Homo-oligomer: A and B are copies of this chain.
Amino acid sequence: MSVPAGLTARERFLRACRGEPVDRPPVWLMRQAGRYLPEYRRVREGISFLDMCRDVERAVTVSLQPVELLGVEAVILFSDIFVPVLGLGIDVDFRPGPMIGEPLRTRDQIHALRVEDPRQTVPYVFEIVRGLRRALSGPQIPLLGFAGAPFTLAAYLVEGAGSRSFSAMKRMLYREPALMRTLLDVLTEMTVAYLGAQIEAGAEAVQLFDTWAGLLAEDDYRKWVLPTHQAIVERVRGGGAPLILYVNDGAHVLESMLESGADVLSLDWRCDMGMAARRAGRRASLQGNLDPCILAAPREEIFSRVRRIAEQARPARGHILNLGHGCLPDTPVEGVRAFVEAAKSLAAGSA
């Protein structure tokens, strides 16, 4: 297959997701609209994080900043994985990590959860998506929607907050497996409806973030996490948008990630890109996977790492350059700029 001349950013991105030939890997960064950008901090001033997620104008503005300021080649909806959870009637606060008003610990709490239509409960999300899609139709930049994965949401909802061990959540998993399964089923339903509504509103690809699934050993992951991913992939794919699956710290569950059926696997930097690309082959495209801390390195080091990642990713059917985790508040803007430039400097032959 040959590469069509003059690909737009949208075409390059969607072709890379599907494993069709492209001139070079497209580039964007997880949490590219974030506190490391002075322009983002100005828009965020005097408003809470959750209110920012509900403020259509500001959310559209910060989502677009990385295109205008840094030249990234995909835009992701500005929001938070807990926004659809608000639609379940669960109280969430950010200080600055998520805090659940009443952690879900009982059968009654979990059996009372009802999935409503997200277009009714959190309509602003879809207004943001529609606003972004309009803004991006000129420059032909692809728009991504996203959701937190059921296991990660369940981890927070049961634990009540972030944790190093998530032992309350794991206790439910090992002592009350049927209850945990019910919770995961509800969250899977919710996620399917939420991503479906984003695609309907104009998202051209969606990313599922499973931040905490990597806490499980592979056998537990296969039992608890993989079925949620498979159900979401199967039911969301009908919308025609490729699905990108990100599992933080998931090097040990790569094979299970491949079995999810996701179009693209987003890897963190601990997962060797060369090994992953050989195992992925034609089964999935890959995204990633520079350690965000390396954006503090000298420019030449960033360029050399980007070249190496692109080289290692070649055995996979497609590759999207990205970090292995989100940009950090102390990420230097010049490092992000170097990363994007390095990606764009890759010739078709070397990527």
B174 touches A294 (CB 8 A): yes
Q: Report B-chain residues with C-beta under 8 Å of the C-beta of A174.
A: 293-294, 296-298, 301
Q: Does A167 contact B (CB under 8 A)?
A: yes
B270 touches A217 (CB 8 A): yes
B330 touches A293 (CB 8 A): no
Q: Does A283 contact B (CB under 8 A)?
A: no
Q: Does A170 contact B (CB under 8 A)?
A: yes
When all copies of this chain in the complex are counted, the total is: 2
What per-residue 1/0 map shows which CB atoms of A272-301 lie under 8 Å from chain B? 100000000000000000011110111001
Known contacts: A269-B217, A270-B214, A297-B175. The answer to whether A165 contacts B252 by CB under 8 A is: no
A165 touches B270 (CB 8 A): no
A18 to B44, CA, bound (A): 59
Nearest CB in chain B to that of A217: its residue: B269
Q: Does A271 contact B (CB under 8 A)?
A: yes
User: A218 touches which one: B214, B249, B272, B292 (CB < 8 A)?
Assistant: B272
Q: Which residues of A167-196 have CB atoms within 8 Å of chain B's CB atoms?
A: 167-168, 170-171, 174-175
Q: Which residues of A239-288 have CB atoms within 8 Å of chain B's CB atoms?
A: 249, 251-252, 269-272
A276 to B117, CA, bound (A): 46
A167 touches B294 (CB 8 A): no
A200 to B167, CA, bound (A): 39
A-B contact pairs, 10 of them (CB 8 A): A165-B292, A167-B296, A168-B330, A171-B296, A171-B330, A174-B296, A174-B301, A215-B270, A252-B252, A252-B271
| A-B interface, 5 closest residue pairs, ranked by CB to CB distance from nearest | A170-B293, A174-B297, A251-B252, A171-B296, A217-B269
